[in-house]
Amino acid sequence: MKRFSLTIATEGNNDIVNLNPELSRRVRELFPKGDGLLHVFVGGSTAGITSIEFEPGLVKHDLPSVFQRLVPDDLHYDHEATWNDDNGHSHVRAALLGPGMTVPVSDGKLLTGEWQQVVLIDFDTRPRRRTIVCTLIV
């Protein structure tokens, strides 16, 4: 097993960051031969990890629009009343998405689909620095 971390600066507010280039580079360096699994996990309760085609229509409009319809940012959230903040919706969105995913790897490559990228989505209401913990199981 091998572990590495990525530190990602985000803008918050549904900022979607393509992790594939850096994940691919690190997997190629650490595990150039053989089969294994890469688990990608974000610490924090207002961000999540998923996969999507990283193209502007989806990442700038479609996916944020779906999250807004499912978990509107302008509803009352008891979390906000408890903590005097504005990110109750951020916690709910992150809980629905989940904090991680596992991707198979082979001979130094992520076995994602042709148009599939692993992404971080930061739902918080302000810019953040996120630590992504990546565990390569070989």
Q: What is the 3-state secondary structure (H, E, C) of 13-76?
A: CCEEEECHHHHHHHHHHHCCCCEEEEEEEECCCCEEEEEECCCHHHHHHHHHHHHHHHCCCCCC
pTM: 0.95
Q: What is the rounded average pLDDT of the residues 5-33?
A: 97
Q: Which CATH class is domain 2-137?
A: mainly beta
Q: What pLDDT does residue 10 have?
A: 98
Q: What are the boundaries of each domain within the chain?
A: 2-137
Q: Read off the pLDDT band of 124 (50, 70, 90).
A: very high
